[in-house]
Amino acid sequence: MNEVAAIRNYKTDTLLIGFSDLVALRNERPMVLTAGRGVFVTDENGREYLEAMAGFCCAALGYNDQELVEAATRQMRMLPFSPAAYNRTVPVVLELAERLAEISPIPGAHVAFATSGSEINDTMIKFAWHANVGAGQPKRRKIISRIGGYHGNTALTNALGGTPEHHEAFGLPMHDHLHVSQPVAQPGEDEAAMVERLAAELRATIEQAGPETVAIFIAEPVSFAADVCIPPPSYFPRLQDVLNEYGILMYSDEVITGFGRTGEFWAGPGVGVVPDVMMMSKGLSSAYQPIAASLMAPQFYERLEFATRKSGWLAHAGTSNAHPVAAAVALKVLDIFKSRDIMGHVQRVLPEWQKQLAAIEDHPLVSGTRSIGLMAGVTLHPGDLAKDVYQAAMHENLMIRPGTNMIKMTPPLIISQSEIVELFVRLRRALDRVLHGKQNG
């Protein structure tokens, strides 16, 4: 009770909260969450919400996993911090790198760490630039990404994905950015025609920029940001042919999709992505600690290593990169995926998830659903209702995310069958609220 009372006394308009209306926040108290239990979170008034977003698609193991808490506590007691730099590191970080390399879809991968998805993407772009400078190709800097995707919040990564709204807000992109389309079929287009159109667009983009200036193509295997855009099987292999032709690196951003989100441990292999570099975060520690990692193919790493010869070292490190406490938590996440058979659990609950998604399509405000594993989008009709449904869901004690013309859900992977049923009961009630609100004018 004391803890709750103390929270009530905070002056809340001092804090900048992202993805929020700053003007409204001057007068409105933000939601203040105080506790978590499995797939539920509780606010300061004791109201419990079914958290169908796992935070930002990250709290895969739910909100009160004691094994993760203990792993963090143990490491904090032993050695709470040590920088990973100047030829120094700690056992948990070495072990985590080893274990990630073992489960990597890239054979013989080398591993680097950072603190967030944005930072690891940013870092890996720097590393490609470094390798290219080392190879005598300093002009090979441009990055191709897909409009509507998301690769982070730094000035560099924000310009990669996002929407015109993002770019306008921050004066992005800077130079070196090229954008192509998402794999979304135009009316009347079949898979083959769409993939050929997108391969031609990619080729034209490279040719126009000057092939010798293009370094990287970056994509999420499945783009959550681009309204759960699931590519058809021939899309990535076809783009990969074009990239190989021009010697452009393939970067796979598995920051959301890695660690089981799409029903497979990694999403890339299932959709034909063969990356030179692959990034992960979120599920890596189930978001209990900020940590991100990349897996680098040996050929890429060797080029980077070669580039460092001139200065005699890699001129890059970060205070909290490869943080021991975060690494200890990530190691425990890997253990839990095995000991509790998390991937098996996801497979067992998926039929209920799919059944419920199919059933919600009969709602008058729903025009369709898209899903892969425990990631789903419910398309709304008319399309401008996402924020209304989001608000209505809050009234029904359900947290979802508004998209462009859809609401999106990525619950913790530990969600049970009965919690999935409950989630859709609340979603239907939220949709009904909006429907009746509109009908009543």
Ligand X SMILES: Cc1ncc(COP(=O)(O)O)c(C=O)c1O
Q: Given the rule CB under 6 A, which residues bind ligand X? A: 56, 116-118, 121, 150-153, 220, 224, 253, 255-256, 281
And the tokens for 11?
């002056």
* Nearest residue to 377 via CA among 228, 220, 173: 228
Q: Which residues contact 207 (CB under 8 A, 6 or more apart)?
A: none
Minimum CB distance to ligand X, residue 89 (Å): 22
Residue placing its CB nearer to ligand X in the complex, 285 or 356: 285
Residue placing its CB nearer to ligand X in the complex, 325 or 392: 325
Query: What CA–CA distance (Å, rounded) separates 360 from 406?
Result: 13
In sequence order, what DSSP letters do the residues of 305-318 get, joined into one string?
HHHHTTTTS-----
Minimum CB distance to ligand X, residue 305 (Å): 26
Minimum CB distance to ligand X, residue 170 (Å): 15
Per-residue exposure over 212-250, b if at least 16 CB sit within 10 Å of its own CB, e if not:
eebbbbbbbbbbbbbbbbbbbebbbebbbebbeeeebbb
Minimum CB distance to ligand X, residue 190 (Å): 28
Torsion-angle region of 440 (φ positive above 0: left; ψ -120 to 50: alpha; else: beta): alpha
Residue placing its CB nearer to ligand X in the complex, 220 or 264: 220
And the tokens for 239?
């783009």
Minimum CB distance to ligand X, residue 70 (Å): 24
* Nearest residue to 374 via CA among 54, 49, 38: 54
Residue placing its CB nearer to ligand X in the complex, 62 or 221: 221
Residue 229 per-residue DSSP state: B
The CB-nearest residue to ligand X is 117
* Nearest residue to 373 via CA among 355, 358, 356, 354: 354
Residue placing its CB nearer to ligand X in the complex, 42 or 154: 154
Minimum CB distance to ligand X, residue 146 (Å): 11
Per-residue exposure over 156-176, b if at least 16 CB sit within 10 Å of its own CB, e if not:
bbbbbbbeeeebeeeebbeeb
Minimum CB distance to ligand X, residue 316 (Å): 18
Residue placing its CB nearer to ligand X in the complex, 19 or 86: 19
Residue placing its CB nearer to ligand X in the complex, 115 or 356: 115
